Amino acid sequence: MHVTLLFIAALMAVVAWWLLRQSINTRPWEAHAHYGTSEDFSGRSLPLPDAKLGLFVFLAVIASLFALFISAYTMRMELGDWRPLPDPNLLWFNTGLLVLSSIALQWAHISTGREQVKSARNALFVGGFFALAFMVGQSLAWQQLVEAGYFVHTNPANSFFYLITGLHALHLLGGLVAWGRTMVKLLSGYDIARLRMSVELCAVYWHFLLVIWVILFGLLLST
């Protein structure tokens, strides 16, 4: 449980430190008439739009989920029957696809910021395309392994491989739903300024899943 413990400890330390900082040097029992004049009295704690903070909190939940999988992986790995499976070279190619997908979405985010409808549309499309290609690539990698006789239940290393890659792909699939909704809106001529947030959130989510994938891939390669 080291991985999870370190992750949660870091996260809780940040949360606790931030919350405690709010409370040091305050005198909550004093009443004040000058509301609305000082920064302290605004109703917002963080200079972030609600949707973005919501996404960040969600990312913390997903990070906690994968940290737990990694913990379980490392704990199960130490038991005697673990026989590592060869990582298909295709995974390197897939990683490249995911990087391209992330770059394209970043490009889409920059284009929406500049209100360039056409380039935003293209970039968003390309990003989604590469993400789909990544998922196809992952399923091909699965097929290669199955054909080579690495079935999901024959060894815990195999089980974890399918479980972790599958779960990562499912999260990407969820992202593609959000991507699809944004794409439809963009194609049907929505005001691009109003789509800025959606595109940005997609881009953030994509980068996050890329980071998670790189960590998982590193774990798979090194064990």
Using the rule CB under 8 A, give the single segment among 58-66, 87-95, 122-130, 197-205 that binds other proteins. 58-66
Whole-number Å distance between alpha carbons of 27 and 121: 52
Determine, following the binding rule CB under 8 A, whether residue 77 of this chain makes contact with other proteins: no
Whole-number Å distance between alpha carbons of 33 and 57: 34
Q: How many CA atoms lie within 13 A of 73 on its CB side?
A: 26
**Residues 32 and 181 sit within 8 Å (Cβ to Cβ):** no
- Of 46, 184, 193, 214, the residue at the interface with other proteins (CB under 8 A) is 46
In the complex, minimum distance from the CB of residue 126 to other proteins, in angstroms, rounded to a whole number: 29
- Of 2, 6, 10, 44, the residue at the interface with other proteins (CB under 8 A) is 44
- Of 61, 118, 147, 149, the residue at the interface with other proteins (CB under 8 A) is 61
Task: Kindly give the residue spans of alpha helices, DSSP state H, lying in 148-191.
Answer: 156-187
In sequence order, the 6+-apart residues with CB closer than 8 A to the CB of 132 are 176
Q: What are the structure tokens assigned to 60, written together?
A: 């913390």
Determine, following the binding rule CB under 8 A, whether residue 6 of this chain makes contact with other proteins: no
Whole-number Å distance between alpha carbons of 118 and 187: 10
Determine, following the binding rule CB under 8 A, whether residue 139 of this chain makes contact with other proteins: no
The contact set with other proteins (CB under 8 A) reads 1, 4-5, 8-9, 11-13, 15-16, 19-20, 22-23, 26, 28-37, 40-46, 48, 50-51, 53-54, 57-58, 60-61, 64-65, 68-69, 72, 75-76, 79-82, 152-153, 156, 159, 163, 167
